[in-house]
Amino acid sequence: MKLKYNFVLNNVSGTTVAVPVGKAGEQLKAYIKLNETGAFIFEMLKRDVTKEEIKTALQQNFEGVSEDHLEKALDTFLEKLKSADLLYEK
């Protein structure tokens, strides 16, 4: 899976936001507010990755999170991106 549009991540007043650029900016006209984990996943989705690759990277970079919690949170985040039509899936 991969993001359908180009985004740039910026820090605005201590909050990470994903801002669409180029044609995406013309179409979307909005930004996405992200926490640290969401920003990490968003960066990974700039290239074509699998859910398992994201899960493995999260486990390596965010210690102390149970696998069950991580799986549920990842599913929820990806589902939100899918419902907003922001992901390409194979």
pLDDT tens for each residue of 21-72: 887 667 777 889 999 999 999 999 999 999 999 999 999 998 888 889 999 9
C-alpha to C-alpha distances, 4 to 1, 46, 88, nearest whole angstrom: 9, 9, 6
Q: What is the pTM of this model?
A: 0.87
Which residue bears the tokens 């996943």? 41
Question: Do residues 86 and 7 lie in contact, with contact meaning Cβ atoms separated by under 8 Å?
Answer: no
Say if residue 81's pLDDT is above 90.
yes
Query: Computed from CA positions of residues 75, 41, 90, 3, in that sequence, does the dihedral angle turn out positive or negative?
Result: positive
